[in-house]
Structure 1
Amino acid sequence: MLDIGSRSVHLKIADLAPGGPPEPVTSLKQSVRLAEATDRQGVIQHDAIRRLVGAVTESAAVAAAHHVDDLIPFATSARSGAGPNGGTLAVGPPRCRPMTHTFR
């Protein structure tokens, strides 16, 4: 699972053996500070986008090194909305199943 939030990107890898509980394998949490780099119109500064892309890329590499079959990303936010019409920033490594949801 890859939790992409307004403050951090958090990768959690677990072994999901049939019939058993999820067993944690590894975790990687990286600060991206998107919330503090976003203006009132919902525009994210370029440096913050670079931090986000770097964190997602590193998370994808860690997932690949652990032979992850399905990397499931989702976005969370401490803010309510990304501007008057909402917004989406699509950043994802190969083999991610895109999942989007708008919270209002």
Structure 2
Amino acid sequence: MKVIVDSKRKGDKLIVNHTQFQEYLEQKLHDMTNFLSNVITALIILSVMVFIQTFKASDVYLYGLILLPLIARGFLYNRISANLHKKFAELLEL
């Protein structure tokens, strides 16, 4: 979903529609949360894969890695989203 913000320039100031700006900020936070949760999940999978390969574990553990993103993604998304909303709370309440 692409959010378009109507804006007008008056000298050095930029005037925007409040509700559209709120939707825009929420969409950007959602996009950032998705990106961060994907990167963190990928790093976790890679590190566990290296660990399993280092200790010559059986292939069953590698197949188990397929379940890791499915389980961890929802948890990571909620944690990252809560943290970003806390950090940007002042900006979201404009």
Using the size of structure 2 for normalisation, the TM-score is: 0.33
More helix by share: 2
Using the size of structure 1 for normalisation, the TM-score is: 0.30
More strand by share: 1
